[in-house]
Amino acid sequence: MTAINRFFAGNTGPVLTVIAAIIAIWYVGAVFMNAPFQRDIFKRADTQYTTAQLITETMRQERPVLPAPHQVAVEIWKTTAQKNITSKRSLVFHSWVTLSSTLLGFLMGTVLGIAIAVGIVHSRTLDKSLMPWIITSQTIPILAVAPMIIVVLAAIGVKGLVPKAIISTYLSFFPVAVGMVKGLRSPDVMHLDLMRTWSASPAQTYWKLRWPSSLPFLFASMKVAVAISLVGAIVGELPTGAIAGLGARMLNGSYYGQTILIWSALIAAAFLAAILVALIGVIGKIVTARMGAPAQ
């Protein structure tokens, strides 16, 4: 009893409960969505069938409307553990292609976001002139911009990783810029006044006060940025007929109606995003702990 209590006191119990609920709903959904097609098959073959047979068969279709969880799991297992990771059929290979442009785009986006924030915080002119454009940039649908970026860059000879990374950058600089503007402005008036009483230079005020104050904001916005970078990389693969990457995998799946393939790529993307966000979270915790924040 106490073991069960302890199990549910931590994160494990609640998380597993939610996962179990999602899988259950998913199975029910799979049965209902695949049933009409399955009935059709039975009817055409003139087969008599029981409800149990119908349910079993809905989870065994080759191109289901909604694949059952175990079908996706088997597909993921086949394309990860049972394939050489350099193979074009390996999900690990495709994930790596997407991950590499995600990370490059995220890195560029973070640097760009910080640079913009520093500019905005230190210059009134930039504050007035830049912010509206930054917000406008995010109102343009990325699906409309992505092909143009890829095509324009290809025309000047930039291909492969970089164009996709630039789409990630385009998406990820925004949360970092907004978060860092807030973070760099977060120091207490008293702390800023203290720096003035010591006639500190702007650079000193920046490095000794503004930058350390902004770090919690930086990590919070980096979590958003890394997830959105992944979305950017996938979107960058979609309209361009990319041959590798999770986006290419999804596109392939949709060409050939291979829903199981699409779903396994989706799950891989979600898993990748979760790992990236968690990683940023851990780094953020380590940094704030080293900065002497009280233990949570």
Partner 1 sequence: MLEAWGGYGAKIEASMTEAAAVSSPVITASDLSLTFQTNDGPVHALADIDLAIQPGEFVSLIGPSGCGKTTLLRVIADLEQPTKGALTVNGVSAHDARMARAYGYVFQAAALFPWRTIAKNVSLPLEVMSYSAKDRAERVARTLDLVDLTGFEKKYPWQLSGGMQQRASIARALAFDPDLLLMDEPFGALDEIVRDHLNEQLLKLWARTKKTIVFVTHSIPEAVFLSTRIIVMSPRPGRIHDVIDCNLPSDRTLDIRETPEFLKLAHRVRDGLRAGHSYEDQDEGSDLR
Q: What is the contact surface with partner 1 in residues (CB under 8 A)? A: 188, 190-191, 193-200, 204, 208-209, 212, 291-294
Nearer of residues 209 and 231 to partner 1, judged by Cβ: 209
Give least dist CB 193 to partner 1, A.
6
First to last CA, the chain: 28
Give least dist CB 283 to partner 1, A.
16
As a three-state string, the secondary structure of 252-267 is HHHHCCCHHHHHHHHH
Give least dist CB 253 to partner 1, A.
48
As a three-state string, the secondary structure of 194-208 is HHHHCCCCHHHHHHH
Residue 150: CA atoms inside 13 Å, Cβ hemisphere, count? 22
Gyration radius (Cα) of the chain, Å: 25
Residue 208 CB: number of other CB atoms within 10 A? 14
Nearer of residues 143 and 291 to partner 1, judged by Cβ: 291
Cα 54 to Cα 100: distance, rounded to the nearest angstrom: 43
Structure token pair of residue 135: 């917000």
Give least dist CB 284 to partner 1, A.
14
Residue 73 CB: number of other CB atoms within 10 A? 15
Nearer of residues 52 and 190 to partner 1, judged by Cβ: 190
Give least dist CB 220 to partner 1, A.
16
Nearer of residues 62 and 188 to partner 1, judged by Cβ: 188
Cβ-Cβ contacts under 8 Å for 248 (sequence gap 6 or more): 94, 97, 237, 241, 242
